[in-house]
Structure 1
């Protein structure tokens, strides 16, 4: 029998570690780098970046592949946006990011491949791999080998967040087969990639080489809209960045993020926002509200 995603009391225990002391500074909240946003898909990277901001990363840096969109965002000037380039891709280590995310709106260009190679060969830092970054791994045995080598050298430092279509590409099958037996699919994905895996969809699953699958019971059909996966990526990166100082590993950060993502969507539906027309932008703000409310309640109880 599948276990539910750690009971609320356990997730709250994890969330409590994110509580900030009065003397903390932005360095304690971590430096996050997100890569993606190819031509026509800049919005995906901006959503991931905004989610990263709202969920508390100390710095959020974006490397945008679409040069027309690689400029300051007046709605979110806090985002440090720069134009992606081959030179930047090969010097990622110089940025000293605590956590990296790649995939939202990435595309599958030569530049996208260069970034993926650079990130997979970076030492130690936690990495969140989503969307077209997963597709690049699925389409290349060399990329898959780089991922496995990374996980052998730096275990517990990589997470993949495929939706059923991306999972099907990784496993060389079809979506219907994935959806028919999602538990078998996530176990195969973990075995194939040796990564933490979040298999998105109704009753999202999360598993790793060291953790049997959990199922997230929260969530609703309003989440079936473009951008929801991007804000989950940003949330995982943000919490993992804070986790460097607050003693949360990538598995724990992923559990918190999956929990918040689905719970926020459910809370909005209860308020009459959705499911029809529920947006990622509304959901990330609700995620921020929930995490702060839970920290306030936990502090009040102690």
Structure 2
């Protein structure tokens, strides 16, 4: 019988994000987000908007869809570039503090190339979500590359699967994952040697160095397309600021998970949802809560 996990309690760490008067964008981190294949550009834009509104100093989108790789008039702060097969060089030139990959990534040759490049980038926090997880589940080579990265740079990679993606990684079924979520997250940590966020009711977070903790906040209104992309961008933003504000990737992930769920609950108390609650509304509520907690 699995013990009851501890309750996630990380929002008190938000105070470390408070900025000194002379700080500039370099103190808030440079984040590169990769994804947005044709037909799925919105996923990357949502992740980028979350990253921007949660405080990253720079938010750079490597967009796989050529038709969407242009300035967004509604959000001109996002630096949007067309991802290419030489993305490894692009990352080397950008010198990011954090990379996040997966929202709307797809499973093309370019998508696989981008994931190889992200896994090969050393040391910095890496957030892996959505189709990037599916690519890993289908490729022993990519899984091995992930494991090697975590051996070289422990605590620097976080995976954010929903139950279906978790099942693919474990070569199992969604039903089995959901029937024993504690066992599932232990298996995911053992397999990948990563920080793992198993999304769903009472989202779990665990790592090789930390036992599982569960987030008790959240509501069914979060079960809509794009919420996971928002979480990815939020983790990346907080991790980017954490580089110079004494917050590691484990702590940044916990903050983002809890802030995400609490923002959704806060909106419901205001009469926004749960039915019809949108990821974009959640981003703005997360920003509001974060600033209140500084």
Q: TM-score, normalised by structure 1?
A: 0.95
Q: In the alignment, what sits opposite 1:120?
A: 119
Superposed displacement of residue 212, structure 1: 0.3
Superposed displacement of residue 55, structure 1: 0.2
Superposed displacement of residue 90, structure 1: 4.1
- In the aligned structure 1, how far is the partner of 2:257 from the partner of 2:7? 9
Superposed displacement of residue 5, structure 1: 3.3
Q: In the alignment, what sits opposite 1:167?
A: 166
Q: In the alignment, what sits opposite 1:86?
A: 85
Q: In the alignment, what sits opposite 1:298?
A: none
Segments of 5+ residues of structure 1 without an aligned counterpart are: 296-302
Tell me if structure 1 keeps the 8 A contact 2:11–2:259. Answer: no
How many pairs align? 292
1:108-154 Cα shifts (integer Å, max 9, x gaps): 00000001001101110110000000000000000000000000001
Tell me if structure 2 keeps the 8 A contact 1:99–1:241. Answer: yes
- In the aligned structure 2, how far is the partner of 1:268 from the partner of 1:4? 25
Tell me if structure 2 keeps the 8 A contact 1:64–1:84. Answer: yes
Q: TM-score, normalised by structure 2?
A: 0.98
SS of match in other structure, 1:61: strand
Tell me if structure 2 keeps the 8 A contact 1:37–1:65. Answer: yes
Tell me if structure 2 keeps the 8 A contact 1:265–1:283. Answer: yes
- In the aligned structure 1, how far is the partner of 2:125 from the partner of 2:21? 27
Task: Tell me, yes or no, if structure 1 residue 101 matches structure 2 residue 100.
Answer: yes
- In the aligned structure 2, how far is the partner of 1:104 from the partner of 1:210? 27
Tell me if structure 1 keeps the 8 A contact 2:102–2:128. Answer: yes
Tell me if structure 2 keeps the 8 A contact 1:199–1:206. Answer: yes
- In the aligned structure 1, how far is the partner of 2:86 from the partner of 2:116? 13
- In the aligned structure 2, how far is the partner of 1:267 from the partner of 1:104? 25
Tell me if structure 2 keeps the 8 A contact 1:4–1:217. Answer: no
Q: 1:5 aligns with which of 1, 4, 7?
A: 7
Tell me if structure 1 keeps the 8 A contact 2:103–2:129. Answer: yes
Superposed displacement of residue 94, structure 1: 1.7
1:13-57 Cα shifts (integer Å, max 9, x gaps): x11100001110000000000000000000000000000000000
What value does the CA root-mean-square deviation take over the aligned residues?
A: 0.8
Segments of 5+ residues of structure 2 without an aligned counterpart are: none
SS of match in other structure, 1:212: strand
SS of match in other structure, 1:101: strand
Q: In the alignment, what sits opposite 1:299?
A: none
